[in-house]
Structures are given as C-alpha cells and as structure tokens.
C-alpha cells in the first residue's frame, strides 16, 4: 500500500545570514511575522513598510531523509507560490511557475539537503512580460503575467502583500507497482437511480509495467466517513467531527453499501460504472436535504494486495444552467434536480491575503455565517484562489452551491508560452480535484475580461495581440467538456452568451451592476431587470472594534490617515459620502454618526436591489452580492468585515434572502406590494397595511388576504386610501405579515419629518449564561433603522438582529452575546437610529 509522509517539520527560511524557523504550509510573510522581523501588515500603514518582502528572492531549506522499501518515492508539493526552483543535494529537480497546481518530483533513492528557492513574483512577471509583450489591466500591477493569486498584488478592497512560499502541504509518497494518478467520478441521475461513472488513470513503475491490475469501487454511507481525500490523512477531521458533519448533511442512519463494482485491466486507463438504486438526491439548502455518499476506490495488484486508495464524498444530483431565449432576451437560471431556482448568492474573495492561514475551522465559521444569511450560492471570484478541499466539503454539507471562476480577473491575459501550458495544466488539475463535490454547480471562464475587452479601451493598445479570449471560448470549455461534462460552463461573468450582444447586456445572461455604486443613487437598481445579477454592491466601513484594532491610537475620522489607507477603492470615501448625502444630512465632525449612516446606506442599497430583482422572478433568476467577506480590515462592500464581525448588511441579507419576503416597491402610481415566496409551499397570509403619520398616528388601516404559490411572487392591488400622498414628508406606509415588515417612505430621509427618536431600554438576563443579555427596546415615537452596534459593548460581542423600524408602543428584543457586566447606559451609547434632518 502507498505510504505518505507529511513534510511539515524541520524547515527553515533563509533571511540575510540567518535561518529562521519556518512553518509549512505557510509563506514568507507568516514566518517573518512569527520571527518578529516585520510588523503586522494589517495594522496602521504597515502594509507599505513590508512591501520589500515581495520584491526579493527567498529560499526554504530542510534535510530530506527517507528509507522506504517501495519502488518509487515522490516529493509532492500541493502548492508552491509561485516561481520556484527545487534543488536536492545540489541538483535541480525542477522549476515551477504556478501557485494554483500541484507538482511532483521523483526522489527515489535520493536524500540530502533540500532547498526550495523562490524568485520574486515581480521578477517572474517582468520576465514573462518581456516574452509576451505588454497587456492592459485595471491596476498598475503585473498580476496577469504570473499564475498567482491576483489580489495579492492589491485590489480595490485589499492590500498589496505579494507572498512566496509553500502555501499548501508538502509530502513524500512511497509506492510500488502502480498508483491512482487520476480519478474522475461522473455522477448522473436517471429516474430514481444514481449513476457513478469512474474514469481512472494509472501511473506505473517500471516493474509494474504491463502487470494486470484490479480496481474495486463501492458507494456507501457511514457516519465516520472522512471528509478529505486519503492524500491528506494527517489533516482529516477527527471522528467526532466527521460524525457531526454527516449528521448536518443528512447522513444515513447506518453503514450500508449501495453499489459495488470492480474491473481488471492491463493498461493505464479504465472505466468503472456503479448504479445507486433509490438514490437520495443532494439539494441546495432550502430545497431539501444534503445526503452524501462515500465513494471508495481501491487499486489492487494481481494477487489482490491493495496498492492505493482514493476516497471522497459525493452527492447525487443534476444541474443545468438554462440559457434559453425567451421574450425578455436570454435567460440564466440554475435548475437543480429539475427545479428552477432563484439563486441567493454572495461573492467570495480569499478570506485572508495570506491564504495559508485559512483553516478548515475558519472556512466553517465564514460559510456558516453565509448560510445563516439564507445564502444558497457562493461565487468564488476569479482574482483569488481555488480554495482548499475543506471549503467545498463544508459547502457540500451546508447545501451551498458553488460557482467557481477560473482564475482570470480584470485584465488582458497573454495566451502565448509559457502561460498557455500553465493555464491548461492548472485547469486540468483543479477540474479533476473539485469535480467530486455536489455543491459545485458552475465553471466560469473569467471575471469581467470579456466586458473589459469591449468597454475598457483595450482593443487599440492590444492591436491584435492575444488577450484571453482563446482561453475563455476555447481552452477552458474544451477541458470542462472533456473532464467534467456533467456541469455547465460559461465563458465569463458578465457574459451575454455570444458577441451578438454586449457582454454586459441586462437582457442576456449574467450582468454586473456597478454604475449605480460608482455614480448613482441606489434607487437606480430599480431601473432595470437583468436576467441574473452576478455582481453588485455598496461599501461601508467595518465595525468600530475592527477599526480600533487596526488603527490603534488614531483619532478616527472618515479622512484620517489610517482610514484612508484602509480604503482602497478609487474615490471610495467620496462615493460613500455621496451615497449618504442623497438620503441624509452628512455629519460634520461626528465619526460615530457617519459610521452608522454609511452602514445603514449599505444595507438599504443592497436590499433595494435584491427586493426589486426578486420581485421580478422568474425574469431575474438570481443575485450575487459583492461581497461576503474581507481579507483584512478595510472599508469595503463586504457583509462580514476583516475581523469576522457582521455588518448590518449581513442581517439585512438574512431578511431579503429568506424564503418569504414582504416588499413595498416604489411604483409610478405609488408603492407596490410584492409577496415573494421562494419556498416549496404556498404562502397564505394576511397582510396588515397601515398609513401612518410621522407622529405615529394611524391614518388608515386594513388587512388583505394574499396567497403566493410556491416559488412565485404575488402582487396584490393596494387600496388607494392606504397610499401616502406622493411626495408627502409626513406619511408613510407599513405592511406586516407573519412577523415580516416592509415600509415605504415617499421622500428621502432628509426630507421626512422624523420626530426625535425616543425609546426605553431595559435589560433582561438570559437563563443559563452570564455572557448574554436581552436588550428590550420600547419605542415611544417612530424609530427608523434602530441599530445596536454590539462591538461597542465589547470586542467579542455580537447581536442577533440588525436594522429595526419600530412604531410607537412597539417592543423589540435584541440578544447580545459575548459580553458581561453590561448596563443600560452602555447599551444606550451603542444604539443609533435615524435623526430628524
């Protein structure tokens, strides 16, 4: 049987004339931080002080020893970042130039000093640029010339921290006769039967050439099944953790083999087919359960001695992307197990600019936060990385569909050597690695490059040079069709399906809506109905505790030095301020007020878009908010800030992405009620409507009965007498149903006659804990967008609710966890609401 030795210990990093302890997996920055050679780049303006790290060469050294009776020993690097030379006992084993793929080298019978030498990524990019010629991009960094995480060179939400190192595990594999070089499970469904077609490629030693082999495969379910592949056995989850995860995923009650097959062969490739009768289907969250099957593949020699084992969890389901033409243009609807879905998505960026620090536990925290916001689709953006297997394992369990970009973003990419070979090898590696995951529902060729070619003045400077089109319309779809034909592929995002239409045409395919954030009021989201909104968003600063940690000692102001350094978007603060000014009086000299209003506008802006587009289902079939997470503390579009704290946007996503949504939309003749039901059951509800004066007096009220069929939107007519007068600064409309609330104000906040908000606050103990308290707020007046910022009570504090609008006499309870010794005055200081203009 193949033996695996993890090479995590005994590494050193050369720095000047010293050897520093090194952690593998890791990178130069994490090792220099541990040795206190550099300051934390996330603090203050330290980012600029450590820029030199990315511009010099580095090397890691260790002693390679092994004594194995096997015929072959291979040194395997799961990820080298990026331009590396591997030297063993003074001889070069090979060179690499791609962070996104694995590399293996034959070291049979060879030992001695092992050195991994990393060139500066800038140096490698300059070398490639000299070979291919200049290409345009949207940032002044050379990320398109090197197969490396593009955002390590900085982005409009991220710092420039150009890494190097062995960022994924390193190991020795010892094996004899043959090994499983590639296993590709193609999962399909026919009626009640799931089909698993295994396509296998074998690598043999010289002694193993021509020998008969057998492959045996089983599909079964077991509570103790590991979530990771056998190559990473040292990192596999503990038995109690895997049992718990199987329970979450809808595991079977007892160990059972559902299908088994074997085949004998003498070549290097074979195919094995298994049928799973009465298969339990994997569904996205909210549509059904997520049962996972364990697929075991064992390679045996002629006398049935096991040589190698491959184990993964799979799910049985079908997925299509319906891009049919219709009266509105060209659709873009995910269809899972025959059910058409409105995708409730978020865009994902690397959760740390130093990605080797991202642990499975951190993935689970962040993805659980996404699920808690009623998200059902995660788009992995093309300027980041193909995430670790743990990311996709957790998505499988949580029912989070994954849209995977190939790693191209916001630039023209050369298609010549040496990049072309690397692009193809990288795509093949990652398609094969990720295809077992049922959560993976789409391969996407790039982020914004087709759009960029058309609209960003690339054509003239390119003058006929290659720019990536051959990848997106040629190489990548060919690889997906060859290796993973059970999943859809799209050439890019945005993309209208062909050059017959503008790449970002709202009527065809996917659309990115950035004109609104950049130049307009968020009300303009309601001006169009794209078929699928794959990017849109609005910025806000992170939580106050995050800012205080990142900017110690700074007197915070929107334009204080640290705040500006942690704002990477072009004119970011100008856009934030203009967004506030369209609705509120811009606070002068009151940072706390500015901070609150910026977060309110972010939540309202994103909600306005989603409410409008959901109300136009099925013409619009999904929204993917930019963005879920951050990679450091920064003002950005994220719903979860760089320290993992929830912005009000996260709570608002939970509301607008719930199965049932009540919305009052502005219309030409007054507000329109949308009763949006994305659940699988009819929604019978009584909607209470009230026209209310600013002082809280109810002017008119009624109740209407509404039925919204499963996965549909009902738009009942509103009685004319319930509609506020157009342009009224004193009247507003409230709709309530089944605990949900929608409000409509005819004018911007700064024109509305809000009373000075008055409310009572009391605290109630939470039984069984001393670190949580219920904050009970009773409104004495209209209180618009009441927000408790929990981190003001303590850096570990969190709240279970976001923005609340209360009418006089109404009461709301906010549970605050993670803090102790809280009193009413401290809570009042952490509460904010809309003020009179």
Token pair recorded at residue 165 = 């190192």
DSSP 31-45: HHHHTTSS--TTSTT
The region of weakest confidence among 141-150, 207-216, 250-259, 619-628 is: 250-259
The C-alpha angle with vertex 787 and arms to 785 and 788, in degrees rounded to 5, equals: 165
The predicted structure's pLDDT at residue 302: 94
Mean pLDDT throughout 330-344? 98
Mean pLDDT throughout 367-371? 98
Residue with tokens 């004066």: 693
Mean pLDDT throughout 435-450? 98
The predicted structure's pLDDT at residue 221: 83
78 is catalytic: no
Mean pLDDT throughout 179-187? 98
Report d(CA 21, CA 360) in Å as an integer: 24
User: Around Cβ 295, how many Cβ atoms within 10 Å?
Assistant: 23
Token pair recorded at residue 520 = 């307009």
CB 298 within 8 A of CB 472: no
Mean pLDDT throughout 167-194? 97
User: How far, CA to CA in Å, does 680 sit from each of 286, 339, 340, 341?
Assistant: 9, 10, 11, 11
Looking from the CA of 824 toward its CB, the CA atoms found within 13 Å total 8
β-strands 343-348, 622-625 pairing: parallel
Residue 244 has pLDDT above 50, yes or no: no
Residue spans of alpha helices (H) in 373-409? 389-398
Report d(CA 343, CA 370) in Å as an integer: 13
CB 8 within 8 A of CB 76: no
pTM for this prediction = 0.95
The region of weakest confidence among 30-34, 241-245, 581-585 is: 241-245
pLDDT tens-digit readout, 724-736: 999 999 999 999 9
Report d(CA 493, CA 501) in Å as an integer: 14
Residue 546 has pLDDT above 80, yes or no: yes
Report d(CA 569, CA 588) in Å as an integer: 22
Reduced 3-state DSSP string for 332-355: CEEEECCEECCEEEEEECCCCCCH
Residue with tokens 């060139």: 119
Report d(CA 491, CA 497) in Å as an integer: 8
Looking from the CA of 668 toward its CB, the CA atoms found within 13 Å total 1
Report d(CA 495, CA 504) in Å as an integer: 6
The predicted structure's pLDDT at residue 166: 98
The one catalytic residue among 415, 448, 469, 535 = 448
The predicted structure's pLDDT at residue 253: 52
Q: State the average pLDDT for the chain.
A: 95
pLDDT tens-digit readout, 492-534: 999 999 999 999 999 999 999 999 999 999 999 999 999 999 9
Question: Of 190, 345, 342, 380, whose CA–CA distance to 276 is shortest?
Answer: 190
- The DSSP bridge partners found for residue 693 are 731
The predicted structure's pLDDT at residue 235: 30
Mean pLDDT throughout 177-185? 98
pLDDT tens-digit readout, 304-332: 999 999 999 999 999 999 999 999 999 99
- The DSSP bridge partners found for residue 3 are 174
Residue 227 has pLDDT above 50, yes or no: no
Report d(CA 19, CA 30) in Å as an integer: 15
């Amino acid at each position: 049987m193949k033996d695996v030795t993890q090479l995590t210990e005994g590494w050193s990093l050369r720095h000047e004339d010293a050897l520093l302890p090194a952690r593998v997996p890791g990178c130069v920055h994490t090792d220099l931080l541990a040795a206190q050679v550099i300051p934390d780049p996330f603090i203050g303006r330290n980012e600029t002080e450590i820029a030199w790290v990315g511009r010099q060469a580095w090397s890691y050294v260790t002693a390679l020893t092994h004594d194995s009776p096997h015929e072959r020993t291979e040194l395997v690097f799961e990820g080298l970042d990026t331009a590396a030379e591997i030297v063993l006992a003074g001889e070069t084993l090979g060179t690499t130039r791609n962070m996104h793929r694995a590399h293996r080298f034959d070291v049979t019978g060879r030992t001695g000093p092992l050195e991994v030498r990393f060139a500066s990524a800038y140096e490698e990019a300059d070398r490639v640029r000299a070979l291919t010629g200049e290409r345009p991009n949207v940032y002044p960094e050379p990320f398109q010339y090197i197969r490396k995480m593009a955002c390590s060179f900085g982005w409009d939400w991220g710092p420039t921290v150009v890494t190097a190192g062995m960022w994924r595990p390193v190991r020795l594999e010892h094996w004899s006769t043959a090994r499983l070089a590639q296993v590709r499970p193609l999962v399909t469904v026919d009626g009640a039967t799931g089909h698993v077609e295994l396509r296998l490629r074998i690598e043999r030693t010289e002694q193993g050439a021509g020998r008969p082999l057998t492959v045996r495969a089983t599909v079964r379910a077991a509570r103790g099944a590991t979530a990771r592949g056998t190559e990473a056995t040292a990192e596999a989850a503990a038995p109690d953790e895997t049992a718990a995860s199987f329970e979450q995923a809808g595991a079977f009650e007892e160990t059972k083999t559902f299908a088994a097959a074997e085949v004998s062969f003498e070549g290097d490739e074979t195919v094995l087919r298994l049928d799973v009768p009465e298969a339990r289907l994997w569904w996205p969250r909210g549509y059904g359960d997520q049962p996972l099957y364990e697929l075991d593949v064992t390679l045996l020699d002629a006398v049935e001695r096991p040589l190698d084992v491959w184990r993964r969890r799979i799910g049985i389901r079908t997925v299509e992307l319906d891009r049919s033409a219709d009266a509105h243009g060209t659709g873009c609807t995910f269809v899972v197990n025959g059910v058409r879905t409105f995708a409730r998505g978020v865009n994902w960026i690397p959760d740390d600019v130093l990605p080797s620090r991202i642990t499975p536990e951190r993935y689970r925290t962040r993805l659980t936060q996404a699920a808690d916001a009623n998200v059902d689709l995660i788009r992995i953006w093309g300027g980041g990385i193909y995430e670790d297997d743990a990311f996709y394992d957790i998505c499988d369990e949580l029912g989070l569909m994954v849209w995977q970009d190939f790693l191209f973003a916001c630039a023209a990419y050369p298609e010549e050597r040496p990049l072309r070979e690397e692009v193809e090898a990288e795509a093949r590696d990652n398609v094969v690695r990720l295809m077992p995951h049922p959560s993976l529902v789409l391969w996407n060729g790039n982020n914004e490059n087709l759009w960029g070619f058309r609209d960003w003045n690339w054509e003239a400077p390119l003058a006929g040079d290659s720019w990536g089109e051959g990848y997106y319309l040629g190489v990548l779809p060919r690889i997906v069709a060859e290796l993973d034909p059970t999943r859809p592929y799209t050439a890019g995002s945005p993309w209208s399906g062909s050059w017959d239409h503008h790449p970002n045409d709202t009527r065809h395919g996917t659309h990115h809506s950035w004109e609104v954030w950049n130049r307009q009021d968020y009300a303009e989201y309601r001006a169009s109905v794209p078929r699928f909104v794959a990017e849109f968003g609005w910025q806000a600063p992170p939580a106050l505790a995050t800012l205080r940690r990142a900017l110690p000692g700074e007197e915070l102001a929107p334009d204080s030095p640290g705040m500006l350094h942690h704002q990477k978007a072009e004119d970011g603060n100008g856009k934030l301020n203009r967004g506030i000014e369209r609705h509120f009086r811009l606070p002068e000299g009151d940072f706390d007020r500015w901070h609150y209003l910026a977060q309110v506008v972010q939540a309202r802006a994103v909600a306005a878009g989603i409410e409008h587009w959901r109300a136009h289902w099925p013409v619009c079939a999904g929204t993917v908010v930019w963005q879920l997470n951050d990679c450091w503390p920064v003002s950005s579009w994220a719903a979860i800030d760089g320290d993992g704290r929830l912005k009000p946007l996260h709570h608002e996503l939970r509301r607008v992405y719930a199965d049932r949504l009540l919305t009052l939309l502005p219309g030409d003749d007054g507000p329109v009620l949308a009763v949006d039901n994305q659940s699988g059951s009819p929604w019978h509800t009584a909607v209470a409507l009230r026209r209310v004066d600013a002082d809280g007096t109810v002017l008119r009220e009624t109740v209407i009965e509404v039925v919204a069929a499963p996965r549909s939107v009902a738009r009942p007519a509103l009685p004319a007498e319930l509609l506020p007068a157009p342009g009224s600064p004193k009247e507003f409309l409230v709709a309530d149903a089944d605990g949900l609330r929608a409000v409509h104000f005819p004018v911007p906040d700064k024109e509305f006659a809000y009373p000075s908000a008055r409310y009572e606050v009391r605290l109630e103990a939470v039984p069984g804990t001393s670190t949580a308290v219920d904050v009970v707020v009773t409104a004495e007046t209209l209180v618009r967008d009441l927000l408790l910022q929990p981190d003001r009570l303590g850096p570990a504090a969190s709240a279970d609710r976001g923005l609340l609008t209360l009418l006089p006499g109404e009461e709301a309870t906010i549970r605050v966890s993670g803090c102790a010794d809280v009193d009413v005055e401290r809570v009042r200081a952490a509460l904010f609401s809309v003020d009179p203009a």
